[in-house]
Structure 1
Amino acid sequence: MPVAIITGASKGLGRALAEALAARGWDLVLDARTEGVLKEAAGAVSAYGTRVTALAGDVTDARHRAGLVAAAWRLGGADLLVNNASALGAEPLVRLEGLPLEGLRRALEVNVVAALGLVQEALPLLRASAAGAVIAVSSDAAAEAYETWGGYGASKAALDHLAAVLGEEEPGLRVWAVDPGDMATDLYAAAVPDDGDPRPAPASVVPAFLRLLDERPASGRYAAPALLEGQR
């Protein structure tokens, strides 16, 4: 069975993607910071009958990242790495003039540095896979200028560029930066708590990610809405 490592997998997009992959027979290594919530998510995912290893921890911890990759190795390898864990930098989001520099550092550490660190740790297993792939969960804030989204958007723009370079350096892999579009997640609620507009459920964009895995287009940046539109 193929094996995926998914960070930020206890809720939102990470959990929705984990459930979709488990339904397809994937074995999974799941990460999140809150052990209780992660344990509940892992229990739900394991109901599909696949093997699930859940490791609570912070992706900025090198030992935790090594543990995630070691868990994948015990399951047989790593065919997919999904860097989904994210930090906003400020909750709720604020204009750049008031953005705490420590918050910006945290966003960069989680969204960029830790993501690259996990890629580096997992590369030997991904290269050994016949269909190794990396998904970097991006944002439209990486490409568009929105008030208050500067710190978070800058971190995702940096992640996009790392993904683009990795795709050039690792032609044997597929490396996709994916903008999932608007979703009703805890992250978005923390970013903009006063926004009462309805947002689609994370599960609604999972078919876009599955399309990438099925069709394996060239490494690059993709937007989930466009991928979903192409399926109609």
Structure 2
Amino acid sequence: MTAHRSIALVTGASRGLGRALAADLARDGWRVVVDARHGDQLADAVAGLPGVVDVPGDVADPAHRTALAEIVDDLGGLDLLVLNASVLGPSPQPELADYPLDVLEQVLRVNVLAPLGLVQALRGLLRPGARILAVTSDAGAEPMAGWGGYGTSKAALEHLAAVLAVENPQWRVYVVDPGDMRTAMHQEAFPGEDISDRPEPETVVPALRALVDGDLPSGRHRAADLVAVTS
């Protein structure tokens, strides 16, 4: 990155991978803007972290995206945009033939339309060489029974990111599959099951930092592969 103080925006930072990455960036001297729907949880997540601006709100709300862009503008631009906020949909996950369309519409609004809307709101503030990380899932690349709704949204996000990379060579646009993690969303996907064998989100942060700090070309990456290369 350049000599100025690096600035990041991480969505969905009140828990899980977003929280872990935002904390790592803040401790490394970045200015970090974070958002999440639940303001109290977000404030608790970033309490005590230096250089963090917490902005509660829903990324699916255009007014919230505008507010985020205004804050980034006040800070002077953006080096890293992490499109992490997403919703799972019904739990347990229904088959597509039984999937309520109004719920699927909301999943697509949050997981696909909101990330694009945020890129559109920030495109004049993303510095040359800026990184965009779109957090995906193996369900976005493989057909899995019961994961049709969420997987469809992630597949659409992946294609969206790939096209953005082609159309905007001045940025590095990465799709990153973090793998299974011990998160609240993962628990929601498997209600009543013991997921204590899944790794903590913090273990995935080095893989994300390899994309943020490195010089890999735009594309899709698995966190497990990135960790293997950097370790």
Return the alpha-carbon distance in structure 2 between the equivalents of residues 3 and 69 of structure 1.
12
Aligned residues of 2:80 and 2:212 also touching (Cα < 8 A): no
Return the alpha-carbon distance in structure 2 between the equivalents of residues 89 and 193 of structure 1.
13
Look up the match of 1:142.
Answer: 140
Equivalent positions of 1:81-100 (< 5 A) are 81-100=81-100
Higher helix share: 1
Q: Which ranges in structure 2 are unaligned for 5 or more consecutive residues?
A: none
AA paired with 2:18?
A: G
Pairing 1:101–2:113 present: no
Return the alpha-carbon distance in structure 2 between the equivalents of residues 214 and 3 of structure 1.
13
Look up the match of 2:219.
Answer: 220
Return the alpha-carbon distance in structure 1 between the equivalents of residues 7 and 115 of structure 2.
18
Query: Which stretches of structure 1, 4 residues or more, deviate above 4 A after TM superposition?
Result: none
Aligned residues of 1:160 and 1:177 also touching (Cα < 8 A): yes
Range with bigger deviation, 173-182 or 72-81:
72-81
AA paired with 2:229?
A: G
Equivalent positions of 1:6-155 (< 5 A) are 6-44=10-48, 46=49, 49=50, 51-126=51-126, 129-155=127-153
Range with bigger deviation, 181-190 or 130-139:
130-139
AA paired with 2:145?
A: E
AA paired with 1:119?
A: V
Return the alpha-carbon distance in structure 2 between the equivalents of residues 134 and 59 of structure 1.
16
Return the alpha-carbon distance in structure 1 between the equivalents of residues 129 and 73 of structure 2.
16
Return the alpha-carbon distance in structure 1 between the equivalents of residues 80 and 114 of structure 2.
17
Q: Which ranges in structure 1 are unaligned for 5 or more consecutive residues?
A: none
AA paired with 2:130?
A: G
Identity %: 48
Deviations 1:13-44 (Å, cap 9, x if unpaired)? 00000011111111011000001001111214
Look up the match of 1:230.
Answer: 229
TM-superposed CA distance for 1:97, in Å, is 2.1
TM-superposed CA distance for 1:194, in Å, is 3.0
TM-superposed CA distance for 1:156, in Å, is 0.2
Aligned residues of 1:28 and 1:72 also touching (Cα < 8 A): no
Return the alpha-carbon distance in structure 1 between the equivalents of residues 193 and 159 of structure 2.
30
TM-score scaled by structure 2? Answer: 0.95
Look up the match of 2:194.
Answer: 196
TM-superposed CA distance for 1:77, in Å, is 1.2
Range with bigger deviation, 30-39 or 82-91:
82-91
Deviations 1:112-166 (Å, cap 9, x if unpaired)? 000000011111111xx24311110000000112221110000000000000000
